[in-house]
Amino acid sequence: MTFGSSVLQRFAPMWRALLALTFALPCGATMAETTKERVMREGKIVIGIHNRTPWGFRDEATGEAKGWHPDLLRAAFSELGVKELDIRVTEFGALIPGLLAGRFDAVASGLSITPERCRQVAFGSPDLKVHDAAIVLAGNPKRIHGFDDIVRQDIIMGAGRGSVSVRNATAAGVPESRMLLFPDIEANISALRSGRVDVTVLSSPTAIGLFSSGKLEGLESATPFVTTDEQATYAAVAFRTEDQDLRALWDERLAALTKDGTARKVMARYGFGETEIVPETVTVEKLCGGSMAGAAK
């Protein structure tokens, strides 16, 4: 027997034991844990919002996260043992970048499904139908009741940077030179009060939330603000494209909440009615228009 073969025989039992231990390890020890697995294990999910009523906000008195999406998410995941909703606030335009950078597990703050966004994130099923609304000075001095009025008159429109309202206004013919874009609602409303803009255009749910807060003295909703079904958008919770299992779990839970009436109760809580209900024929696949990045095969 040579020296080399003697050494191999001496250490063979140890190598066999190490190999056996490696193959006996649970999958989680040798494979990366998915976001869904971590959420279920920790009992916590991290959600990005932009602190806007009624989408998602912190109650000023209690600090508790409330709103359309936080309430739905809490109802959906609490029954699965995920009791902690870790809400983190950022600017609207930083929601998707923050999600992609791993700062959130999902973003749930009134993000509308668009083909452009579908190339970046994986949207859950649409949960709310959204039309544009307009806020003007009391009395609506310029008689603004739709994008056509903004186009015809020498009107400066304020809107949120990166919002779908900007896309709709552009499609309706509002020139870029007559739009001022803001990072948040406060700056937008301040510009309206000071006369820098003549009208603020934003989503109808956001307008509902603002007027319910009682903080818009001297302003009013431009009623009616005429929009078409083609201009309607649909809000949804967004996930990273690699987190298809977490998105699928959310879709299952959302369907259950819709079926048992919980979603309707949350809608009523925030002033939503029949006009905000998503038709059964509207799906995320149709809204993305073939632009779903990382969709499950």
Q: Is the pLDDT of residue 294 over 60?
A: no
Question: How high is the pLDDT of residue 64?
Answer: 87
Cβ neighbours of residue 64 closer than 8 Å, sequence gap 6 or more: 58
Average pLDDT of span 250-271: 96
- Position with higher pLDDT, 189 vs 9: 189
DSSP string for 66-116: ESHHHHHHHHHHHTTT--EEEEEE--GGGHHHHHHTTS-SEE-SSPBP-HH
Question: How high is the pLDDT of residue 286?
Answer: 94
Q: Rounded distance, CA 178 to CA 28, Å?
A: 55
Question: How high is the pLDDT of residue 245?
Answer: 97
Mapped onto helix, strand or coil, the DSSP state of residue 128 is: strand
Q: Tell me the pLDDT tens digit for each residue of 259-268.
A: 999 999 999 9
pLDDT level of residue 21 (50, 70, 90 thresholds): very low
Helices (H) and strands (E) in the chain, counts: 13, 14
Q: Tell me the pLDDT tens digit for each residue of 193-209.
A: 999 999 999 999 989 88
Q: Tell me the pLDDT tens digit for each residue of 22-31.
A: 444 444 444 6
Average pLDDT of span 67-95: 94
Q: Is the pLDDT of residue 137 over 70?
A: yes
Average pLDDT of span 56-77: 91
Distances (CA, A) of 158 to 120, 121, 135, 177, 184: 26, 27, 10, 11, 11
Angle (CA) 241-247-251 rounded to 5° is 145
Q: Is the pLDDT of residue 8 over 80?
A: no
pLDDT, the chain, mean = 88
pLDDT level of residue 190 (50, 70, 90 thresholds): very high
Question: How high is the pLDDT of residue 22?
Answer: 42
State percent of the chain over pLDDT 70. Answer: 88
Question: How high is the pLDDT of residue 29?
Answer: 42
- Position with higher pLDDT, 52 vs 170: 170
Mapped onto helix, strand or coil, the DSSP state of residue 51 is: coil
Mapped onto helix, strand or coil, the DSSP state of residue 52 is: strand
Which of 49-58, 108-117, 136-145 is most confident? 136-145
- Position with higher pLDDT, 35 vs 162: 35
The answer to whether the beta carbons of residues 49 and 57 sit under 8 Å apart is yes
pLDDT level of residue 293 (50, 70, 90 thresholds): low
Whole-prediction pTM value? Answer: 0.76
Q: Rounded distance, CA 179 to CA 199, Å?
A: 10
Q: Tell me the pLDDT tens digit for each residue of 142-185.
A: 999 999 999 999 899 999 988 889 999 999 999 999 999 998 88
